[in-house]
Structure 1
Amino acid sequence: MFDRLLRILAVLTAFTILIVVLMGSLVTNTGSAYGCGHNWPLCNGQVIPTATSNQTWIEFSHRMVVGFTSILVIILAVWIWSRLKQVKEARFLAAASVFLIFLQAFLGMSAVVWGNSSFVLALHFGVSLLSFTNNLLIAVIVIEETHPHCMRLVPGIKRGMSWNFITLSIYTYLVMYTGAFVRHTDSSLAATDFPLVNGHLFPAELISRAGFQYVHRVAALILILWVVATLVVCFNKYKKIPSLSILLFLALLFLLFQAFSGVLVLETKMALYTLLLHSLFVTVFFGLLMILLMIGLRWKEAR
């Protein structure tokens, strides 16, 4: 019974952090970052705001969800350290989850109170993604270790593919950072045509808002080609491990959805639903990639 509750808590925590990521995107894309003024943890000097503006309630709701999620993260971390004492992966990720959720909250607080540069604001989104994927991995491990009919994900891939997943994950994080940087430098509509950049193959100046968007596009294209190549190799070399190809196919699918939603952002002049879909798809893609990375880092177990 208690193991079942632990599994439910692990999945619920990962899901609530996904909601936090999407609500953070909602705050950014509705101009609600200062909906509570420069006050934190109060909102316009009040515990519960009386203002009726949408921006205030969006920001306030985001803070409430972050607070609730932080409590879940702490409870889950303590429970894991007690229940899964022998599972080093779980204990490390549990400690990391507490650090990341508070780092995420601190970056959000500092942006409100002191204001931050575009670099730091983009980093805030990156930390939010790490927080989600960290807890997604916790949920996977908890299910592996506590469900009586679940097998541990150790496919027996070679060391070279493990390093491929490591470098692919690092590169993906950098690509996502460039996307967040584009958004926080107001460069999303610096080039409204696709695949051209204001009618040209290359931007007039690379260090410009159009240049930032161009760099992000090229980086995203390389990422898509990299994932496709990895899927082809895994499909050919690891036919006996269909779960590996399935995870990669799903990752590629969400990556393509994310790219398509990026085009929609341009076509709809940054309609809110396209911006939220853009954040959702990249978050799910990164989560799947982190599961693949975790499997890749287990290569020694399968020797």
Structure 2
Amino acid sequence: MTIAAIRISDRMPSAALRRFAWGVLAYFIATILWGTIVRATGSGAGCGDHWPLCNGTVIQQSPTLQTIIEFTHRITAGLDLIFIVGLLIWTWRRTVQGHLARWAAGSALFLTVTEAILGALLVKLGLTAGSRSPLRPPFEALHLSNTLLLVATLAATAHFLGRRIGYRWRDVHITAPVGTTIGMLSIMIVGVTGSLAALGDTLFPATSLSESLKQDFAEKSNWLLRWRWTHPTIAILASIFLIWLLIRAVRRSGPWDNRGLSALVVGLLVLQYVLGALDVYLLAPIWMQVVHLLGADLLWSALVVLTMRMTLLPAHTR
């Protein structure tokens, strides 16, 4: 056995590290869901325009419910940073040079920092609670895009740590990069349009389904309401990419059996359509928004892993 082989075998990710990586992803998704509660309850201004302190202090005296909700979100987000730093260090120590998990974990740390910066800007610029500033939608869209990328890098980190072949850049070859990139971007756009639709529901709530439908077509309605149709429309178009990917996953014979993961993606996709319809019918109550977003995050995570399996293949499978 060569020295290089010994070094590689000695620096393979442990089961504990792999479980920790999946745990960090699960925790971050929980943080996202709590952030939805912050937005839906109008608690984004619960700490005033102070950041990272809450109302200028660390210890809150007689806090309101909105302050508790917002401050709890900040604490959980701070723990995210600690967990991801720990994930990066642990990954770096337990993997060899060029390991794909190193790149994914490093990207996750960078996106965590940008996530904090965007969150701080939303607070400092007053783009929270009931703010109807024209700056809020683009900032919210940018924030969610960063969040989706962060979820993707965490899911990719956990996936790469579990690989036993094709885990270094020099050991993989890339397939269908253009189609995959376009498809994943289309899925991200679905998420962004969904967040803007949810923002419109929060800022301009309807009392009935008929009133909600009238808002979509009324000339005097805010553009967030008149553009809600883009979310289901783009979601249907993005399904074309999902169908293409799933067909490739089922037909391709490679180092991984993708049938189980493909079935999970299909199930989550169907569930999302059902939850989306219920969200509209029930006029987007908070609990429904949280459940719908949870389904979206699970679908996105599963889709990222399936895409990594289909796109970054071990070099010997050419």
What range describes the TM-score normalised by the shorter chain of this pair? Answer: 0.7 to 0.9
The aligned residue for residue 22 of structure 2 is: 11
The aligned residue for residue 134 of structure 1 is: 153
Asked if 2 retains the 8 angstrom alpha-carbon contact of 1:21 and 1:129, the reply is no
Asked if 2 retains the 8 angstrom alpha-carbon contact of 1:27 and 1:58, the reply is yes
Q: Name the TM-score, length of structure 2 as normaliser.
A: 0.80
Deviation at 1:279, TM superposition (A): 0.7
Q: Which of residues 113, 116, 132 in structure 2 aligns to 1:102?
A: 113
Asked if 2 retains the 8 angstrom alpha-carbon contact of 1:192 and 1:266, the reply is no
Q: Distance in 1 between matches of 2:200 and 2:263?
A: 32
Deviation at 1:171, TM superposition (A): 0.8
Deviation at 1:238, TM superposition (A): 3.0
Q: Distance in 2 between matches of 1:233 and 1:10?
A: 27
Residue 181, structure 1, aligned to residue 200, structure 2: no
The aligned residue for residue 37 of structure 1 is: 48
Q: Distance in 1 between matches of 2:32 and 2:214?
A: 34
Deviation at 1:274, TM superposition (A): 0.6
Deviation at 1:99, TM superposition (A): 0.5
Which residue identity lines up with residue 49 of structure 2 in the other structure?
A: H
Identity %: 25
Give CA deviations for 1:51-93 in whole Å, capped at 9, x if unaligned.
3422111111111111111111111112222221324311111
Look up the SS of the partner of 1:115 in the other structure: coil
Asked if 2 retains the 8 angstrom alpha-carbon contact of 1:166 and 1:293, the reply is no
Deviation at 1:11, TM superposition (A): 2.1
Please give the residue correspondences for 1:1-303 in structure 2 after superposition, counting only pairs within 5 Å. 3-116=14-127, 117-145=136-164, 159-160=175-176, 163-186=178-201, 198=213, 203=217, 208-232=223-247, 234-235=249-250, 237-238=251-252, 243-299=257-313, 301=315, 302-303=317-318
Which residue identity lines up with residue 234 of structure 2 in the other structure?
A: A
The aligned residue for residue 148 of structure 1 is: none
The aligned residue for residue 132 of structure 2 is: none
Asked if 1 retains the 8 angstrom alpha-carbon contact of 2:34 and 2:73, the reply is yes
Look up the SS of the partner of 1:33 in the other structure: helix
Residues 96, 240 of structure 1: alpha-carbon distance in 2 compared, 3 angstrom cutoff:
closer
Asked if 1 retains the 8 angstrom alpha-carbon contact of 2:166 and 2:314, the reply is no
Q: Distance in 1 between matches of 2:240 and 2:225?
A: 23
Asked if 2 retains the 8 angstrom alpha-carbon contact of 1:190 and 1:209, the reply is no
Residues 278, 157 of structure 1: alpha-carbon distance in 2 compared, 3 angstrom cutoff:
farther
Asked if 1 retains the 8 angstrom alpha-carbon contact of 2:33 and 2:294, the reply is yes
Asked if 2 retains the 8 angstrom alpha-carbon contact of 1:22 and 1:276, the reply is yes
Unaligned regions of 5+ residues in structure 1, if any?
Answer: 146-150
Residues 250, 172 of structure 1: alpha-carbon distance in 2 compared, 3 angstrom cutoff:
same
Q: Distance in 2 between matches of 1:169 and 1:69?
A: 25
Residues 189, 31 of structure 1: alpha-carbon distance in 2 compared, 3 angstrom cutoff:
closer
Q: Distance in 2 between matches of 1:231 and 1:131?
A: 23
Asked if 2 retains the 8 angstrom alpha-carbon contact of 1:80 and 1:91, the reply is yes
Look up the SS of the partner of 1:243 in the other structure: coil
Deviation at 1:168, TM superposition (A): 1.4
Tell me whether 5-14 or 222-231 shows the greater mean CA deviation. Answer: 222-231
* Number of residue pairs aligned between Structure 1 and Structure 2: 292
Q: Distance in 2 between matches of 1:8 and 1:300?
A: 23
Deviation at 1:297, TM superposition (A): 2.6
Q: Distance in 2 between matches of 1:243 and 1:128?
A: 29
Deviation at 1:233, TM superposition (A): 5.2
Deviation at 1:184, TM superposition (A): 2.8
Asked if 2 retains the 8 angstrom alpha-carbon contact of 1:227 and 1:248, the reply is no
Unaligned regions of 5+ residues in structure 2, if any?
Answer: 1-11, 128-135
Q: Distance in 2 between matches of 1:278 and 1:126?
A: 17
